[in-house]
Chain A
Amino acid sequence: STRCFSALSPELKSTLDKVVKSHKVILFMKGTKDFPQCGFSNTVVQILKTLNVPFETLNILENEMLRQGLKEYSSWPTFPQLYIDGEFFGGCDITVEAYKNGQLQEQLEKAICS
């Protein structure tokens, strides 16, 4: 079935522009960093905790508009979604791979020192 409407109004888009830039590292996830409600979200939280960087989380389960809007905003269909320095970095698999090969640390250091 094809959806004929967009969840991403111009107003929501400009709100999201601000939200993704509100912190150097922000994770849109199911649950919170202290109480993740999905294994994929938990994986990314644990990686960020291991790397010892400050990060914020937003629980998309508590805001359906944010959830639908972000999927379009990021062109990414699932959660978690990690943003670094206002830019979409990836979902769980990409974050895991980038953690393993060191690119995540590099990106985070760049963001936090900028």
Chain B
Amino acid sequence: MAVTKTDVEAALTSKFNPSHLQVVDTSGGCGASFEVEVVSEKFEGKRLLERHRMVNAALAELMQSIHALSIKKALAPSQLPPPAAV
């Protein structure tokens, strides 16, 4: 069964309650392939490898059918750059 962008968004939303979430379908016809960006309090104090492991774990069931997953961002809110001064 094909995994959709909506499936990925739903899984990440329920696990991370993210303040920012972006899922891009990058499959281009070769199978389910996604790029994700997640910003969540749940990542606070976690190292990069650990944050990526959390994303992979959240998508564990879907990973069986996902061809490629690229985690572009997995950040805690405190890691975000400050908003540009106007």
User: How many positions in chain A have a CB within 8 Å of any CB in the partner chain?
Assistant: 16
Known A-B contacts A76-B53, A78-B68, A78-B69; the reply to A97 vs B63 at CB < 8 A is no
Main secondary structure of the interface of B (DSSP, over half): helix
| A40, A78, A93: the one within 8 Å of B72 (CB) | A93
A interface residue numbers (CB < 8 A to B): 1-2, 40, 75-78, 88-94, 97-98
Q: Given A40-B68, A92-B70, A93-B72, are A77 and B60 neighbors across the interface (CB < 8 Å)?
A: yes
Q: Which residues of B contact A94 (CB under 8 A)?
A: 48-49, 52
Instruction: Tell me the total A-B contact number using a CB cutoff of 8 A.
Output: 30
Residues of B within 8 A of A75 (CB): 53
B64 in the interface, Cβ–Cβ < 8 Å? yes
Nearest 7 CB-CB pairs, A to B?
A77-B63, A93-B71, A77-B56, A90-B49, A93-B70, A94-B48, A94-B52
Task: Evaluate whether A97 and B48 lie within 8 angstroms (CB atoms) in the complex, with A1-B64, A77-B63, A78-B68 already known.
Answer: yes
Contact with A along B26-67 (1 / 0, CB 8 A): 000000000000000000000011001100100011011000
